[in-house]
């Protein structure tokens, strides 16, 4: 499949259940051995749907990837959030943050992730943002993907998940040159 077969579009409230389903499935596919097992096991559709409902209501920019009338991935973010206990603080200096990007594993390596990042970056650029940060678990196998998009690893911190310190790294992007 090529990216031309995926449609990237802004999410609507009608997409919330599908977004939550992709979010949960992606965690189950990606994070065993990276995130605590009890956190993965605790994921549930109702709670996840409430979180995405709140995100859309708050004005977060959320885009979905649709293949054959099915949402197979999404990206979401907004202005950058402040982060404590970072090693360099450079992640906080970015204007906006792509806070979540998840694609079902069977749709990896098809250009969908790149298209979602580009769409989010373009939208934020059009709104006047100049730089973007993406925080990713250090052991996430997708760290090479973030680097290949032109991201520079600029920061590191520990995220507490179920009382376990998970190392995460920040990739910084100039929105003028996202690949």
pTM: predicted TM-score of the whole model, two decimal places? 0.92
The structure tokens listed for 134 are 């993406």
Phi, psi for residue 35 in degrees, rounded to 5: -105, 155
For residues 32 and 93, give the distance between their C-alpha atoms in angstroms, rounded to a whole number. 31
> What letter does residue 148 receive in the DSSP assignment?
H
Model pLDDT for residues 132-154, shown as the tens digit of each residue: 999 999 999 989 999 999 899 99
The CATH code for residues 3-174 is: 3.40.630.30
**Of 87, 97, 73, which is closest to residue 11 (Cα–Cα)?**
73
- Residue-level pLDDT at 2: 47
β-pair partners for 98: 77
Q: Where are the domains of the chain?
A: 3-174
């Amino acid at each position: 499949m090529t990216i031309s077969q995926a449609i990237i579009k802004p999410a609507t409230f009608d997409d919330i259940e599908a977004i939550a389903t992709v979010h949960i499935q992606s965690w189950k596919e990606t994070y065993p051995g990276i995130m605590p097992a009890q956190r993965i096991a605790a994921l549930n559709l109702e709670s996840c749907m409430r979180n995405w409902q709140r995100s859309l209501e708050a004005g977060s920019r959320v885009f979905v990837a649709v293949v054959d009338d099915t949402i197979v991935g999404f990206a979401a973010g907004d202005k950058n959030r402040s982060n404590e206990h970072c090693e360099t603080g450079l992640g906080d200096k970015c204007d906006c943050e792509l806070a979540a990007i998840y694609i079902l594993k069977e749709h990896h390596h098809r250009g969908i992730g790149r298209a979602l990042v580009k769409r989010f970056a373009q939208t934020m650029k059009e709104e006047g943002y100049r730089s973007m940060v993406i925080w990713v678990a250090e052991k996430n196998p997708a760290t090479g993907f973030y680097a290949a998009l032109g991201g520079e690893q600029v920061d590191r911190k520990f995220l507490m998940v179920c009382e376990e310190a998970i190392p995460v790294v920040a990739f910084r992007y100039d929105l003028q040159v996202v690949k």
